[in-house]
Amino acid sequence: MATAIRIKKALGQHFLKDPVIANQIANLLTGEGLTRTVIEVGPGTGSLTDMLLSIPRLYLIEIDRDLIVYLKKKYVQLNDRIIQADFLTYSLVEQFKGERLTIIGNFPYNISSQIFFKILDNRHIVDEVVGMVQKEFAQRLSAKPGSKIYGIPSVLLQAFYTIEYCFTVPKYLFIPAPKVESAVITMQRNHVKQLPCNERLFFQIVKSGFQQRRKKLHNALSAFNISNLTCKDLLHKRAEEISVDGFVQLTNAIASKNPV
């Protein structure tokens, strides 16, 4: 890594220094994913970018102005496909009209959750994600019902994506070394274009259920009209015990008592 690059803790920068790991991450992209527009979020000094240069439509989105200068000198061939922007506020729909997207990156820990909810908001155009995040967050995203770490992001993202925990990355492979281990996950868009329920209500019910996760759902969802529901077996469980299909069933039952 060039000595001129100043690491900015406020941006959650931890640069991967191991080309073997970078290559393993790049190799997780599917053949179909490689044919789409591929967006690398937070390329840093380019350890992962080096492994992606053969992709015809590769874009880099980086918020750090100093790194933009560095990347444009290093990857002259990418020209105007190196974009200085905050991924969280960058409009994927406006900038990549009609295109199917693959998102890849070593995502900053401090905004990982926001990045994945941004991807969720753009699920109609983002078909594939390969990302490195904090190990704990990767475990939460891929957790199954019944796990103590199964939560809101697990349910909402698994409703639309198949998520796989791939491998763990130790701290010492970064500059500077983070305080926690990292992990790489993949997400593949499933065939659910729209849930078989009121999606807005589904999101509300999932969030309400987990906001009081120690309570059974008949208490956690008391703000909704849940009297005389046919799915009482679900209401006697906690949110962490309910699958995506279970939340869909609950949503439809509650919607029938609360017509829009």
* CATH number, domain 199-257: 1.10.8.100
Name the residue with tokens 């996760």. 213
185-130-65-58 Cα dihedral, nearest 10 degrees: 170
Global model pTM greater than 0.85: yes
Residue pair 160/192 in contact (Cβ under 8 Å)? The answer is yes
The reported pLDDT for the residue numbered 188 is 98
**What's the average model confidence in pLDDT over 153-178?**
94
The reported pLDDT for the residue numbered 55 is 95
Give the C-alpha separation, 147 to 161, whole Å. Answer: 19
pLDDT tens per residue across span 207-257: 999 998 889 999 999 999 888 888 889 999 999 999 999 999 999 999 987
Residue 200 pLDDT exceeds 90: yes
Lowest mean pLDDT among 157-161, 165-169, 252-256: 252-256
Tokens linked to 161: 């994506």
Domain boundaries of the chain, sorted by first residue: 9-189, 199-257
The reported pLDDT for the residue numbered 249 is 96
CB atoms near residue 204 (< 10 Å): 16
Q: Give helix 244-257 / helix 199-211 axis angle, nearest 10°.
A: 110
pLDDT tens per residue across span 23-76: 999 999 998 877 889 999 999 899 999 999 999 999 999 999 989 999 999 999
pLDDT grade, residue 148 (50/70/90)?
A: very high
pLDDT tens per residue across span 34-44: 788 999 999 98
Give the C-alpha separation, 42 to 36, whole Å. Answer: 19
Which residues define the annotated binding site? 14, 16, 42, 62, 86, 106
Give the C-alpha separation, 20 to 25, whole Å. Answer: 9
Which residues define the annotated binding site for S-adenosyl-L-methionine? 14, 16, 42, 62, 86, 106
Say which CATH topology domain 9-189 has.
Rossmann fold (3.40.50)
Residue 9 pLDDT exceeds 60: no
